[in-house]
Structure formats: C-alpha cells, structure tokens
A and B are shown apart, each in its own frame.
Chain A
C-alpha cells in the first residue's frame, strides 16, 4: 500500500498543481467580478445607470412651449404642426435650462429650408419640394412664407 502511494506520489504532486490553479481561479473570481454582475442578467447592473449618464442636448418640444406658447399656437394650425422646434432650431437644452444666458439663434432660411424642401427625386412626390435656387428667383424663403405656419393658400 505504502509502495503504491510512493509510486503514485509524483502524480499527486502534479494534481496538486491543478488544485492550486483551480483555487487561484476561484480567488480571482471573488476578487475581480464587478459588483452587481448577474443581478438582472449576464451583465453588470451598473451599466444601466452608466447608459443614463448623459446630459441631453435636445430639450424636447414640450419644453419650448412653456415659454413660447405663441409659437406653439401658430404651429398648431399650420403645415409644420408636426415639426418639433429643435428639428429646425437645433439642440437647445442649454437654452431651455437658462434662456437668458444662452440665447437661441434664428436660423438662416436659405440654409435651413432646402434641407427638407429641396427638390429630390427620392423624396415622396406629394411632399412639397422646390429648387431653392430657382424658386421665387432665389429669394429668402421667409419673404413669403411664415416659418411656423408656412402655407400660402
């Protein structure tokens, strides 16, 4: 019996290496798996909060109407009723947070309006589109159209 053990001793030493390795593995697991991992699924639960950590740059049309109710009323009856404010005016979260300190800039019609309304064969045919350079002799859009209620009927 003792002889058998002696003959197999080297195998036990070798197996010992494996035991040490496996123990180290579990120690590493205990030390390094991040907190909250596996709580909600196979991911770190804190990642949900990480993805929420960003300051919005667009305020959202609901916020604009609180001060600019007159524009909201103008929009409501016209063709641009479904166009949110920041679609044309750009991201305005800082302005909504502090309207005096961060003024919004009025966009230039000839730079802005063709973005949507320039004639393009891929645009739906029923969508109002013109060649901005030729339409009304290339004059600025707001000479005839009110931006917030652009219809001319």
Chain B
C-alpha cells in the first residue's frame, strides 16, 4: 500500500541513488568491479531498517540474495531468510494457554510460504526477515581466533575467506544464527550487506528486490538518509536486545514473541 509519504520517500531515495548509481555504474559497465573512486569508508555507518508490518513474505529477498551472492543452494545455507510467526489467540481459559508461537521458515522462505492457517483462526501471523545484524559490539568478531572476521570502518561485519580457519567458533557465538559454513570453501560465510554493491552506491540485493519496502538499507552517518526519520517515527527494536550486541538491523513492529 503506497501512501503519499511512502511515495515521496521512495522517489527521494531514487533521486539520491541515481546520481551515485550512475557514477558507480560506469565502473560496472567497464567490466571490472572497481571501487567507486569517491567512496570513503569513514563517511558511512551502514544499518538496515526492516518493517515487519509491511513484509508480505514473498521471499524475493531470499532468492535475490542467493542469486547475487552465489550462496549454496540447500536448506542449511542462508545469508538472509524469512520466518513466519503464528501466535494463536489467547484462549479464555488461561490454563489452556499455549505459551509459544509457531514458527516456520520452509527452505528459509526461498519458495515463499504455503498457506497453513485458516483465515478464521483469529491468531496473529506475520513475517520476520532476518539477516546478519552487523553488530557494533559483535560477539562473533570477539571470538574469532585469528581475525578472519571483523567490523569494517563503515560498520559492516565481513569475513576474510582467505584467512578463515573454519573453526566455527563464530558460528557458535552468533546469537542470531546468521552464519554458516560454506561447504565449497570450508570457511564461514554470512551476509556482508552486499559490500560489493553498497560501496558503489547501489543498495543491497535484498532491499532492491523487496516489493513493499519492508527492507531498507540505511547509512547512519548520512544526515539525509531516510533511516533517521524512520527511526524517529517508529517504535523500533533489535533482535535479542538483552545480548547487547549493538545490532544495527532495526525492526519496526517486532512482536515480543519474535525469537
């Protein structure tokens, strides 16, 4: 549903991106992925805004990410995935209460979500897209024994595939389950916020393919970035705030039942 404000936001973002994208696109057209000449890491602090109230669980983001980043096919390797929550209506008899939501993520949401719940169910259902939270105080970076994973100066937690030992300590340390071992390289892999795109003025593949604007890349260091307004206007939360990871993926409409 596109109201006027959203439309203006979207167009504003288009205008902002067009100039930068044009510049960056020249490099891509040249056939060689070169660093955009005017990208300075210290000018940026990347984050993401996800609006749970708007996500329709189409799975575009999951498919786009796997395509863009050459993620291995299969049910155990996801840089991003979507979960569907179903919280049954609280029964009149409190002793009857089922205390936990029913969650599913069939193949990570790659093929969408088959209808499972009756319309008259009167429960609450919604979709939650998840990805690496690019934590500012990342526990995965903390435990890496060799420095194969790190936070870049522009706020993206990256993996150095040529240095990773494959010890999997970081996979254990991540509270969000966003890391996996790439069976082809025996090193760790995870969302890198499409670093090859955002450093050229493009947005991430998942945000690009999201039809409802539920996922939006944000640059916290850019005063003109729409994310500041979004954070101001909505009641936002991060996943597992008690872990104090400094997560930078901000969710609007995150129900308390979301794990």
Contacts and interface: CB of A to CB of B under 8 A. Distances in A.
Interface of A: 34, 37, 40-44, 47-63, 65, 76, 79-84, 86-88, 90-91, 93, 96-97, 115-116, 118-124, 126-128
B163 A44 contact: yes
Contacts of B35: 49, 52
22 contacts: A34-B163, A44-B163, A47-B159, A47-B162, A49-B35, A50-B160, A51-B159, A51-B195, A56-B197, A58-B202, A58-B208, A58-B209, A62-B18, A76-B11, A81-B10, A81-B11, A82-B213, A87-B208, A115-B60, A121-B118, A122-B57, A122-B85
Q: How large is the interface on B (under 10, 10 to 19, 20 to 34, 35 or more residues)?
A: 35 or more
B147 A42 contact: yes
A61 B28 CA distance: 15
A121 B117 contact: yes
Contact of A120 (B115, B160, B195, B200): B115
Interface string B121-164: 10001110000000000000000000111111100001111110
A37 B147 contact: yes
B92 interface: no
B192 A123 contact: no
B59 interface: yes
A87 B60 contact: yes
B186 to A, nearest CB: 17
A111 B64 CA distance: 17
Interface of B: 1-2, 6-7, 10-11, 14, 17-18, 21-22, 25, 28-29, 33, 35, 41, 53-54, 56-60, 64, 67-70, 84-86, 112-113, 115, 117-119, 121, 125-127, 147-153, 158-163, 192, 194-197, 199-200, 202-203, 205, 208-213
Contacts, number: 174
Given A57-B67, A122-B113, 14 more contacts: A40-B153, A50-B162, A56-B200, A57-B68, A60-B203, A81-B7, A82-B7, A84-B210, A86-B64, A115-B59, A115-B60, A116-B58, A121-B118, A127-B1
B59 to A, nearest CB: 7
Contacts of B60: 87, 115
Contacts of A84: 208-211
Contacts of A44: 147, 160, 162-163
Given A55-B28, A91-B68, A47 B150 contact: yes
A43 B59 contact: no
B196 to A, nearest CB: 4
A42 B146 CA distance: 8
Contact of B2 (A52, A55, A79, A120): A79
A97 to B, nearest CB: 6
B33 A54 contact: yes
A145 B57 CA distance: 22
Contact of A97 (B17, B28, B125): B28
B163 A122 contact: no
A82 B207 CA distance: 11
Given A55-B28, A58-B205, A122 B18 contact: no
Contacts of A127: 1, 56, 212
Nearest to B21: A62
Interface centre among B11, B41, B84, B205 (most CB of A within 10 A): B205
A40 B21 CA distance: 27
A55 B160 CA distance: 18
Contacts of B119: 121
Contacts of A83: 211-212
A87 B211 contact: yes
Contacts of A53: 33, 196
Nearest to B151: A41
